[in-house]
Amino acid sequence: NAGVTQTPKFQVLKTGQSMTLQCAQDMNHEYMSWYRQDPGMGLRLIHYSVGAGITDQGEVPNGYNVSRSTTEDFPLRLLSAAPSQTSVYFCASSYSPRGGGSGYTFGSGTRLTVV
Amino acid sequence: AQSVTQPDIHITVSEGASLELRCNYSYGATPYLFWYVQSPGQGLQLLLKYFSGDTLVQGIKGFEAEFKRSQSSFNLRKPSVHWSDAAEYFCAVGVKEYGNKLVFGAGTILRVKS
């Protein structure tokens, strides 16, 4: 089925470890983004990309890196995990930046715990 | 700064009763508005969106929302709630920042009593 695929679904890291959260979409969407979801705070934008080779920071980018080598993939890297990065991470894609057309499509999320 | 307020953290309604979830936004330009639903352990599913035109928009699962510019509101409604509607609901506005992003409210958890 067409959509946004995130892996892994669950991950436990030790403080200081690094890892990559994977995100892939098969809808040929140009716009992709990463959000983190924390209780009572809704979702906050970490990084986004408006096309292959183009990425930029969102509102909470510290401690995270991204790259966009293809239209389909948009991995999120945690450089040195900290307990404050314990959260649920969602990848989203859209045909247009403002969510036009069918709006944003979200992956099912990665629940990350840093101990 | 842009913001979205969902004043109700939790709402409990009886099955078959009507539902209204409130959403107020703060944004200077004409907003793109969205409602998403999230079931436990799942991603977000788009219920409906407003970009322009008719201020009453219809969505999936029998939901509708009305855009009221004068009140900066985009409330979600359903005439008769089903037990399967129990979930968390997020209102969001699309803003021209950070390459255009969604600003989310904190969410409203809906509980349905049988």
Nearest to A90 among B44, B46, B105 (CB): B44
pLDDT of residue A102: 63
User: Which residues have C-beta within 8 Å of that of residue A50, sequence separation ≥ 6?
Assistant: A30, A31, A56, A97, B99
Percent of chain A with pLDDT over 90: 76
- In A45-74, the residues whose Cβ lies within 8 Å of chain B are 45, 48, 50, 56-59
Q: What tokens does A70 get?
A: 């293809």
8 Å CB contact of A43 and B96? no
Q: Which residues of B touch A107 (CB under 8 A)?
A: 43
8 Å CB contact of B46 and A102? yes
pLDDT of residue B40: 85
pLDDT of residue B102: 82
pLDDT of residue A96: 73
pLDDT of residue A66: 97
Contact A63, A80 (CB under 8 A): yes
pLDDT of residue A19: 96
Nearest to A48 among B34, B41, B101 (CB): B101
In angstroms, the CA A28 to CA A6 distance is: 16
Burial B47-68 (b: 16+ CB within 10 A, else e): bbbbbeeeeebebeeebbbbbe
Alpha carbon A33 to chain centroid distance?
6
- Segment B35-54 mean pLDDT: 90
pLDDT of residue A99: 61
Nearest to B101 among A33, A102, A109 (CB): A33
